[in-house]
Structure 1
């Protein structure tokens, strides 16, 4: 009887051990997939400060991680062949963007390239607001004489280029730069990407 009990105990131990190993492998796989989809890493995306750029965004030959990320973002995308599309979920210091904080976005001149800056909630939806302000572009923003610009994010209205965030919670910013019809060389794209705006948090309440 005791031997039978020992055999059963050993079998249960092996079974539980196998099940635990399988669970750990599955958990690791799920975590790895979610991390790849949300962060991109070097396989699918490039990072420039707080901004992330998915290399194959909007392309027919986009890799599975890029497709999964974009399908879950809720945002309409254009091909990375036609534009540089960047998103940020944190400020330049690495803190998550949140509507309880005020931000200043400072950008350099884009050398005549058309750009747009918009803010979304964490599900990729535009943030409803009485002012009906959802984005600024190089055509609608008040630019400095040298072509640089400053945009503010916050719940309370401000003069100038202000985008309201209401009570949206976590935020995602999108910065899009249209490439000229003649296209850009790889070196020119790299130089362009170095000019992405800085996102500075002013304070939180």
Structure 2
């Protein structure tokens, strides 16, 4: 009798603990279903639509996020550099390439909770496609660094990991027509002070 009670208690602990752990993982660490990855950048075209998976809806509700609809735009996230190392606020990075297919885009640095980093006084917290300097062939270079840089500079501050967020507005990327000729800039680590 005591053995059956003990076995039932163990099964209950495993079920409740395993369920809680799997729900936490799905909401906090799981990248979600339907992720679209291009190079180092990952986006979720179904976010903000009725086709969004339940885990993405739960994550958006927990974070208070308001994802754009598929006709409005799409956010892409870069968590690692071109060597697969996590992005660090103390390091300097070079974002170089062509503009993705969109009418307008923004780029900013955020913490791992996707809260935008405040770069401090007299520094721009974000860049957008209409303010950056471009080369003659249309390519651009953005330097992400805690130290002042010439040209297109995205300032960071503090220590710890960060995420680069590029939001594309009025873009065909989420539809089938956008998948044909999609290019995203590469993120390369230049130096690191930490």
TM-score (norm 2): 0.81
- Aligned twin of 1:80: 70
What is the aligned counterpart of 2:91 among 68, 87, 101? 101
Instruction: List aligned pairs for 1:90-169, cutoff 5 A.
Output: 90-110=80-100, 113-128=103-118, 129-169=120-160
- Aligned twin of 1:198: 186
**Number of residue pairs matched?**
191
Mapped contact 1:108–1:147 kept (Cα < 8 A): yes
* Structure 1 residues 53-74: Cα deviation after superposition (integer angstroms, max 9, x where no partner): 1222223553321222223445
Alpha-carbon spacing, 1:70–1:95, altered in 2? closer, same or farther (3 Å): farther
Higher relative contact order (CA 8 A, sep 6+): 2
Unaligned runs of 5+ in 2: none
Alpha-carbon spacing, 1:137–1:21, altered in 2? closer, same or farther (3 Å): same
Mapped contact 2:99–2:184 kept (Cα < 8 A): no
Mapped contact 2:43–2:74 kept (Cα < 8 A): yes
TM-score (norm 1): 0.77
Alpha-carbon spacing, 1:19–1:62, altered in 2? closer, same or farther (3 Å): same
Higher helix share: 1
Partners in 1 of 2:12 and 2:161 — Cα distance?
34
Whose radius of gyration is greater, 1 or 2?
1
Unaligned runs of 5+ in 1: 1-6
Alpha-carbon spacing, 1:74–1:101, altered in 2? closer, same or farther (3 Å): farther
What is the aligned counterpart of 1:188 among 157, 166, 177? 177
Alpha-carbon spacing, 1:16–1:172, altered in 2? closer, same or farther (3 Å): farther
- Aligned twin of 2:61: 71
